[in-house]
Amino acid sequence: MRKWLALVVLALVALPAFAQQAAVPPTTANPFFEAWTTPFGVPPFAQIKEAHYLPAFNEGITRERKETDAIAKDPQAPTFANSLEALDQAGEFLDRVEIVFYGQLSAETNDALQGIAKEVAPMLSALNDDINLNEALFARVKAVWEKRDTLGLTQEQKKLVEETYKDFVRGGANLDANGKERLRAINKELSLIGLKFGDNVLKETNTYRLVIEKKEDLAGLPSGLVGAAADAAKNAKLEGKWVFGLQAPSIWPFLQYADNRELRRQILMAYVSRADHGDANDNKAILSKIAALRAEKAQLLGYKTWADFILDRNMAKVPARVYGLLDQLWTPALAVAHKEAEDIQAVIRAGGQKFKLEPWDWRYYSEKVKKARYDFDEEALRPYFKLDNVRDGAFYVANKLYGITFTERTDIPRYHTEVRTFEVKDADGSHLGVFMTDYHPRPGKRGGAWSGRYRNQYFRDGKDIRPIVVNVCNFSRPTGDAPALLSLEEVETLFHEFGHGLNSLFSRVHYKGVARVPRDFVELPSQIMENWVLEPDVLKVYARHWKTGEVIPSELIAKVDRARKYGQGFASVEYLAASYLDMDWHTLSQPREESTTEFENASMAKIHMMPEIFVRYRSTYFNHIFGGGTGYSAGYYSYIWAEVLVADAFQAFKERGIFDQATAKSFRTNILERPGTEDAMTVYVRFRGHEPSVEPLLVKRGLKEAPIPGMP
Ligand SMILES: [Zn+2]
C-alpha cells in the first residue's frame, strides 16, 4: 500500500520549483510575493498563512497564462530557446505556490487547506486545458520538433522536445475539429462513468454485513478482531452481536482465523460478487462502456489499443512485453501454488476432514501451515529497530555507496516541531540538498508513507539549484520509557522512502519537462534500498537492542527469511491473474461479442487459472483500472515489473559486493541522476549491461531454487 501511495504523491509533487526572481509584490505581507532569504531558500513555513495561498494561486495562474500567451504570440520564428525552453520555464511563480501547498495538504492539513484545494482544482485544470489546446503554441512546438535532429540539441534537449510534443499530441492537438470535439466528449464521459464505477464499489463494500449472533461462530478469531466486530455491531444498533464487513481489516483476518467454514464461504463470496448483482450498483455495463470508450480514444489518437496508448509512455512500451513478463512468471508461480495447494489439502486430511480445498479455505489453512513450519514472533525484532538508529543506518548505507554525508541543522525552517532537517553534502563536500524527516502520525497527516519535495532540482541561468526533499511517514511513536521502536515493515518503509529521497537529492536535470519518470521505473530507486535492510554488514551497524546494545541475533534474521518465502505461490498467482485481466480488457481493438462475465471467464481459462484461488480483483470491482481517471489501467503489471528491475539490479551489487564503488557510481549516474532524460530501458542497460532478467525475482520469491555455483 505504501508503494501505491508514494506513487500518487510522487505524481502530486512532480511539480517544478521556483526561481528567486524579483517579483513586484502587491502586498509585502504575503511570502509568496517575496524572495526567500532562509538557509538554502527553504520555505519560511512560520510566515506562510492559509490566507496567503489563494491570492498566490490567482497570481500564479495569471502569470503562467501571460507567459504562455507571450510564447504563442512571439513574432520571432520558433526556436528551441524561445519556444521549448521558454515553455519549460513558464509558471515558476505558480510552481512555488503549488509545491508548498500540496506538501502541506498531505502532511499538515486542515479544513481550510482542504477547502482551498477544492477551489483551485478546477482553476488549475482550466489553465492546463488552455495551454494544451492553444493551437499557436502547439504549432511552435511542432515546428521545432520537426527539425529536432538538425538543431544540434543535446540528448536532454532533444528529449524535452519529444516529451513536450508528445504531451500535446496525446492531448489531441493533432486532431481536426471533429476529432477534437469527439475526444472532449469521450474524456468527459470517461471521467463521469469512472466516478460512478468507484462509487458503486464503495457502496457495495460498505453495505454488506456478516452478522454473527452465536459466540461459537467466533471460534478461532483473535480477540482484537472480535472486539472490533462487537464495536461495529454496537454502531449498527445490534448490541450483543458481532458485525464483520468487506473492508480489509475485517475480511482478511476473518478468512485467516475463523474456524467456521460456511461463514468464511459467505463473506468471501460477498466480496467477489461486489457490483455484480444485476441491480442499480452493477458495474458490468459501466466497465464494458469504459473499455469501449478507451479503445475508441486510443484509436482516435493513432494507437491500436488503450494498452498501446498507455504503455507508449512506460518502460514496457508495448503490450507484448508486458505479456512476455507475465508469462515468464506465471508458469513457475502456478507450479508453486499447486504445490502449496497439495500441502494445504494434506493438512485438511490430517485434521480428519474429507472436503476439497476451496478459495475460502486457503488463507485459513495456509496460516496453520506457516505457523507450524516457521513459528516466530515478528514483535521480537522491534527492540532492535530504534527509529534514530534505523535512520542512521540508512544514512550509513548512502555514505558507503555514494560518499554523501548528512549533518543535522537546527537553523532551517520547519513546518512542525517533529520535523528534523539535515544538510546533505556530496563526497567532495559540495552542497547536494536539504533532507527533512517527518516520521510520526498526526491528525493532520494522511496515512501511508511518501517522499516529497519543497523544491525540485533544476538549472537556471547555468546555476544548479539544489532540491529540498522530505520523507513523511506514520511510524510507531515512543511509548513509556522506550524510544520509538519500529516493526520490520516500518524499517523497510524508512529505507524505501529514503530511496525515493536519494533519487530526488541526486537529480541533475536541466529541464522540468524531463524530470518525469515512467510509472514502471519510478519504484526502482526506492525498492532497491530495501535490500540493504537485512544485510549482515548493515544490521551490525544499526540493529542494536535499544537497552543492551546487543546486535540482532542472526538466527532471528534467518527465521524471517524462511517465513517470508512461504505463500509466494498464492500471492503471485492472485496478483498475476489480475494483471492478465487488466491487459486483456485494455488490448481490445474491436467491440466484444461476449458478456463481461464470459470475457472474464475466458481470460482466466486462457491462463489455466486454478479454481482454488480467486483473481485478486474481479472486473466489477477492479478500481485500480476502472475507477476514475486512468489510474492503473494497462498498468497493474507495473508493481511486478519494478520488482523484476529491483531484483535484477540488486543482483549486480550481490555479484560485485553490496558496497562496490563502481556499481554504486554507475547506479547513481544512470538510474538516480537523470532517469527521465533518456529512454528508461537504455539507461537501465547502461547500468546493468543487459536487459533485466526475471531469474533473480523468481529466486527471491522462492519460485525457483537459486543456482548452485559451479554446478552444470
Ligand atoms: Zn515508492
Q: What is the mean pLDDT of residues 218-228?
A: 90
DSSP H or E run through 468: strand 468-472
Residues 561 and 613: beta-carbon distance below 8 Å: no
Decide if 497 is catalytic.
yes
Residue of 371, 339, 294 lying closest to 562 (CA atoms) = 371
Measured CA to CA in angstroms, residue 667 lies from 7, 525, 652 at distances of 21, 9, 10
Distance 497 CA to ligand 1 centre (A): 6
In one-letter notation, the amino acid at residue 252 is W
pLDDT in tens, 627-654: 865 578 999 998 899 999 999 999 999 9
Distance 520 CA to ligand 1 centre (A): 11
CA 7/CA 640 separation, integer angstroms: 14
pLDDT in tens, 193-215: 887 898 898 889 989 999 999 99
Give the long-range contacts of residues 704-708, CB within 8 A, separation 24 or more.
704/332
**Grid cell digits, residue 569:** 505461490
Q: Classify burial at 299, counting beta carbons within 10 Å of its beta carbon; exposed 0-12, middle 13-18, buried 19 or more.
A: middle
Residue 712's pLDDT is: 37
Measured CA to CA in angstroms, residue 420 lies from 100, 141, 328, 430 at distances of 17, 43, 45, 21
Is pLDDT at 127 greater than 50 in this prediction? yes
Burial 253-277 (b: 16+ CB within 10 A, else e): bbbbbbebeebbeebbebbbebbbe
pLDDT in tens, 300-310: 999 999 999 99
CA 468/CA 465 separation, integer angstroms: 10
| Neighbour count for residue 228 (Cβ, 10 Å) | 17
Distance 539 CA to ligand 1 centre (A): 22
Average of per-residue pLDDT values in the chain: 90
CA 710/CA 712 separation, integer angstroms: 7
Which region, left, alpha or beta, applies to residue 508 given φ > 0 means left and ψ of -120 to 50 means alpha?
beta
Which region, left, alpha or beta, applies to residue 501 given φ > 0 means left and ψ of -120 to 50 means alpha?
alpha
| Neighbour count for residue 579 (Cβ, 10 Å) | 27
Catalytic pick among 497, 600, 612, 643: 497
pLDDT in tens, 35-64: 999 999 999 999 999 999 999 999 999 999
3-class DSSP assignment, residue 211: strand
In one-letter notation, the amino acid at residue 671 is I
Q: What is the mean pLDDT of residues 223-238?
A: 91
Strand ranges for 378-430 from DSSP E? 405-408, 420-425
Cα dihedral angle (305, 306, 308, 312), rounded to 10 degrees? 150
pLDDT in tens, 495-504: 999 999 999 9
Q: Classify burial at 368, counting beta carbons within 10 Å of its beta carbon; exposed 0-12, middle 13-18, buried 19 or more.
A: middle
Distance 491 CA to ligand 1 centre (A): 14
Distance 327 CA to ligand 1 centre (A): 25
Distance 449 CA to ligand 1 centre (A): 8
pLDDT in tens, 537-561: 999 999 999 999 999 999 999 888 8
Burial 174-212 (b: 16+ CB within 10 A, else e): ebeeeebebbeebeeebeebbebbbebbbebbeebbbeb
Q: Which of 20-24, 30-34, 647-651 has the lowest mean pLDDT?
A: 20-24
Q: Which of 163-177, 230-244, 335-349, 476-490 has the lowest mean pLDDT?
A: 476-490
Q: What is the mean pLDDT of residues 247-251?
A: 83
Is pLDDT at 286 greater than 80 in this prediction? yes
Note residues around ion ligand 1 (Cβ under 5 angstroms).
3, 6, 526
Measured in whole angstroms, how far is the alpha carbon of residue 230 from the centre of its chain?
Answer: 35
How many distinct helices (H) and strands (E) make up the chain? 27, 9
Q: How many CA atoms are closer than 13 Å to the CA of 53, on its beta-carbon side?
A: 20
Distance 118 CA to ligand 1 centre (A): 26
Residue 7's pLDDT is: 33
Phi, psi of 208, deg, nearest 5: -65, 140
Residue of 578, 574, 568 lying closest to 610 (CA atoms) = 574
State in Å, rounded, how far the first CA of the chain is from the last one.
41
**Grid cell digits, residue 74:** 512571439
pLDDT bucket at 479, cuts 50 / 70 / 90: confident
pLDDT in tens, 652-680: 999 999 999 999 999 999 999 987 888 89
Residues 97 and 53: beta-carbon distance below 8 Å: yes
